[in-house]
Amino acid sequence: MGAAYFYHLTQRPLVETLTMLLGKAQGAGWRVAVRGTDDTLLAQMDAALWLGPDDGFLPHGLAGGPHDADQPVLLTTKSDTPNGATCVFSIHGADVKADEVAALDRVCILFDGLDEIALNKARGQWKALKDAGASAQYWSEESGNWEKKAET
């Protein structure tokens, strides 16, 4: 049974945190789907990931191409995972369901803690997953380092 990890971003930009966490997921051997809500925002994320550090190349692709199944990291707005993802990253408020949390190795929900709409969406997701009995952890970087603040 998997767990949902909520990452409350207040110090670092989304792309920096996502890159770091995707590297850890890749190190664990997980195939990943990065689920967003808007194709334009995902295209921007795709471009930003290609411009990452030379020593941290992160192989990935945007969904909708001929090689989706081969991508270790697939950026998508859909809930299906043609790349066989065992880990889903939710960005920009993308929905996650409790049955996904149970079926996957990990679900990571990244949200901008300085954006009231994003904060309220994450709070709603936390409550819904908790009420459904999903395992969840809440991580905050407000001190400058990631610290676990809550767990269900």
- Mean pLDDT of the region 122-138: 96
> What gap in Å lies between CA 62 and CA 60, rounded to an integer?
7
Sorted by where each begins, the domain ranges of the chain are 3-151
Rounded to two decimals, the pTM is: 0.94
Per residue in 45-59, pLDDT tens? 998 888 866 666 788
* Domain covering 3-151 assigned CATH 3.40.50.10110 in the classification: yes
Q: Which two tokens stand for residue 60?
A: 């990935």
147-151 and 136-140 beta bridge pairing: antiparallel
